[in-house]
Amino acid sequence: MIEVIKPGIYSSVQDQGRLGYAVLGVPPSGALDGISFRLANAILGNNSVDAALEITFGGAEFKFVVDTAIAITGGDYTASMNDCIVPMNQRIPVEKHDVLRFGLRRTGVRTYLGVQGGILTEKMMGSRSYYPSITTEFRINRGAFIPIHLLENNCISTDKSIENTLLNQVCRTDFDPSIPLELRAYVGPEYSLLHPLDRKNLTRVFTVGRNDRMGYLLQESVPNQIPPIHTSSALPGTVQLTPAGQLIVLMNDGQVTGGYPRIFQLDDTAKDMLSQCAQGQKIKFAPIT
C-alpha cells in the first residue's frame, strides 16, 4: 500500500488505457505521456501495461506502507525521499515508512510514479485507468491507501534495451516556453476543406492555453469557414477547429466522437510531448508529408 499524504493538484492511476470500448462511447484514457509511462515500467522490469500514478503539477506526498522499488519519469518536480533528493529515470529502492515528496517544478507537467509490479487498484473494463463514471474514483484523495504489488523477492530482470530506446526517444520535458516546440502532425480528414489562405494560418506559432486530461486549448484563433460536419470519430491527438476558430487538441480522456472539423492528427510522440507542455508554452505544427 501507498498512503496518500497529499494528493497534489490532480493525480490519478493510469495504465495503457481502456481499449475496445469506443463503440460504447468510452474514451481510451491511459497515461497522457505514454513514453514516460512505459519508461517507468521498463526501468522496474514491469509489464509494459502495469499501472502507475500520473501526478499533474507535483505537490504530492506519499508514505510507503511496504518495501518496494519505484521509478520516477516524465515531469521533474524535485522528488525527495525522506528529504533527500532522488534521481529521475532510475530504479529507487523504498523501505517501509519512507516518505516521497514532490517539490519545486523543474520541467514538464506530468510525472509518472511507477512501482515495482504495478499499482493494483480495481480493473474496470480491462483497465485501471481512472475515469469518472467508470472507476469508483477519478482522482486520488488525501488519506487514501493505494494497493500495490507486493514484492516476493527483490530480484528484477529489466530489459535495458527497451529502457535505452525509450530514454533515447523524446523523453524530454525541458522545453523552453518561448521557443516553439515542433509537433509532428498529419493532416486531418477535414483539412482539405479549409480555404488555402486559412491553411497558411495554421503554420503560425500557437500558445498553449487551458488544458486537462480531456484536451488542450490553444490561445490563438484562426479563420474557419468550414461548414458544420456530422458527428464523426475523434482520437487522442486529433486537432479540432471550432466554429469560432479555436483549436482544441484532444487528449486521452477526450470524447470518442465530435462534431468539429479535424484539421490535424498528432503522431503519438507529439501527443506525449504536448502533455508535458504547460499553459504559455509556444508550439508549432510540423506537417508530416
Partner 1 sequence: MNCPYTLTYSPMGDRALLIQWPSRIDTAIIEDIWRLRSALADPIIVDYIVAYHSLTLVFSSEQKDFSPWIHWVQERYADTSNLEKTEVPNKEIVLPVYYNAEVAPDLERYLEHKKMSLSEMICLHTQQRYTLFFYGFQPGFMYLGGLEAKLVHPRKERPSAQVRSGSVAIGGAQTGIYPHTAPGGWHVIGHCPLVLFDPNLSNPCVAMPGDVIRFRSIEQPEYHRILEFSRPKKNELSGD
Least Å distance, CB 2 to partner 1, is: 22
In whole angstroms, what is the distance from residue 19 CA to residue 154 CA?
A: 32
Q: Does 28 bind partner 1 (CB under 8 A)?
A: yes
Of 9, 214, 268, 280, the one binding partner 1 by CB under 8 A: 268
Q: Does 212 bind partner 1 (CB under 8 A)?
A: no
Q: In terms of CB distance, is 180 or 237 closer to partner 1?
A: 237
Residue list 101-130, contact with partner 1 (CB under 8 A): 122, 124-125
Give me 208's grid cell.
Answer: 498553449
- Judging by DSSP bridges, how do beta strands 257-258 and 232-233 pair with one another? antiparallel
285 DSSP β-pair partners: 183
Q: Does 22 bind partner 1 (CB under 8 A)?
A: yes
Q: In terms of CB distance, is 99 or 162 closer to partner 1?
A: 162
The conformation of residue 37, written as its DSSP 8-state character, comes to H
The count of residues interacting with partner 1 (CB under 8 A) is: 37
Site string for partner 1, 131-160 (x = CB under 8 A): -xxxx-------------------------
In whole angstroms, what is the distance from residue 186 CA to residue 227 CA?
A: 21
Only segment of 37-45, 209-217, 253-261, 272-280 that touches partner 1 (CB under 8 A): 253-261
Q: Does 289 bind partner 1 (CB under 8 A)?
A: no
Least Å distance, CB 133 to partner 1, is: 5
Q: In terms of CB distance, is 10 or 21 closer to partner 1?
A: 21
In whole angstroms, what is the distance from residue 272 CA to residue 36 CA?
A: 8
Residue list 69-98, contact with partner 1 (CB under 8 A): none
Query: Is residue 81 within 8 Å of 99, Cβ to Cβ?
Result: yes
Q: Does 275 bind partner 1 (CB under 8 A)?
A: no
Of 3, 67, 98, 267, the one binding partner 1 by CB under 8 A: 267
The conformation of residue 163, written as its DSSP 8-state character, comes to H
Q: Which residue has the cell 487538441?
A: 249
Only segment of 17-25, 45-53, 165-173, 279-287 that touches partner 1 (CB under 8 A): 17-25
Residue list 221-250, contact with partner 1 (CB under 8 A): 229-235, 237-238
Provide the H-helix boundaries in the chain: 34-44, 160-168, 196-201, 268-274
Report the phi/psi class of residue 190: left, alpha or beta, with left for phi > 0 and alpha for psi in -120 to 50. Answer: alpha
Contacts of 118 (CB under 8 A, 6+ apart): 15, 41, 46, 47, 50, 51, 52, 148, 149
Helix, coil or strand: residue 104: coil
Q: In terms of CB distance, is 107 or 169 closer to partner 1?
A: 169
- Judging by DSSP bridges, how do beta strands 246-250 and 215-221 pair with one another? antiparallel
Q: List contacts with partner 1 (CB under 8 A).
A: 19-28, 122, 124-125, 132-135, 186, 188-189, 229-235, 237-238, 255-257, 262, 265-268
